[in-house]
Amino acid sequence: MSDLQLSGKVALVTGGGRGIGASIAVRLATLGAAIVVCGRTQSHIDQTAGRIRAAGGRAEAMTCDVSDWESVTALAGKVEKMFGKLEIVVNNAGIGGFGGPLHTMPVERWDAVLNTNLRGVFYTIRAFVPLLLAAGGGHIINISSIAGKNPLPNGAAYAASKWGLNGLSYSVAEELRAHQVRVSVICPGSTHTELSPHEGKEPEKMLQADDIAHVVEMLVTQAPQSFVSEIVLRPTQKP
């Protein structure tokens, strides 16, 4: 842990057990932050936390289902009890909704996608902003998708969740900027993770999880007089 720009800070990463979330958690730890790695699968978040501890950082693995309000409030209570504060929230937890046209989509699948990708971000903001305000400010970074800006045939539910997340992010940014809480949304293109569709794509040309982690690092280390409200991240070559 050589670079300690975030020394003394506490960061929460949802969906931190693998993929983009794990990369973000590890990157923030290298900057000196103590990391709360949360997700639904204990073994996955334990693995991420173990990587951070092995490199000399501090990490706590806490299970949470962001689509469940009681689960999120319980997590907020644990974070407050253990750390007494929080400065960074990365809303990364998400599920896909691909595989066919909307008119054939099972209703319960729609609910799962929207409840995790959009309602879950509302829950974390509702539960954790009081801790950010008590700390004197901080960052909320929402991991959206380029599907939140472009049509996505056979992925309409996923696109709807990300279009909604973008609108939520822009609006909450205006609500919280006077309180020194900077809200940013990142919209990556095709990324080489288990969630992203790979059909017809070359994985080596896709964005990698570390590319999104690098953008998060840029956001949380920028000068205090400014903030970036949105970043659209694309692969250099079309995959």
Beta bridge partners of 173: none
Active-site hit among 97, 158, 185, 187: 158
Written as one letter, the residue type at 79 is V
Instruction: Indicate whether 3 belongs to any domain.
Output: no
How many structural domains compose the chain? 1
Residue 205 lies in a domain: yes
- Count the residues in the chain: 239
Question: For residue 220, is it within any domain?
Answer: yes
What 8-state DSSP symbol labels residue 130?
H
pLDDT at 195 over 90: no
Question: Which CATH number goes with the domain that contains 91?
Answer: 3.40.50.720
In the predicted model, is pLDDT for residue 6 greater than 60? yes
Structural domain span for residue 130: 10-233
How far apart CA 201 and CA 199 sit, in angstroms, is 6
pLDDT > 50? residue 1: no
Q: For the segment 117-150, what is each residue's pLDDT rounded down to a tens digit?
A: 999 999 999 999 999 999 999 999 999 999 999 9
- 179 in any annotated domain: yes
Residue 200 lies in a domain: yes
Answer yes or no: is 239 within a domain.
Answer: no
Percentage of the chain beyond pLDDT 70 is 95
5 assigned to some structural domain:
no
- Residue 47 burial (CB count, 10 A): 16
Domain membership flag for residue 178: yes
Tens-digit pLDDT profile for residues 203-236: 788 899 999 999 999 999 999 999 999 999 999 9
Q: Tokens 């409200």 correspond to what residue?
A: 229
For 74-122, the pLDDT digits (tens) are 999 999 999 999 999 999 999 987 889 999 999 999 999 999 999 999 9
Is 170 annotated in the active site?
A: no
Going by C-beta distance under 8 Å and a sequence separation of 6 or more, which residues neighbour residue 32? 1, 3, 4, 5, 6, 7, 8, 9, 57
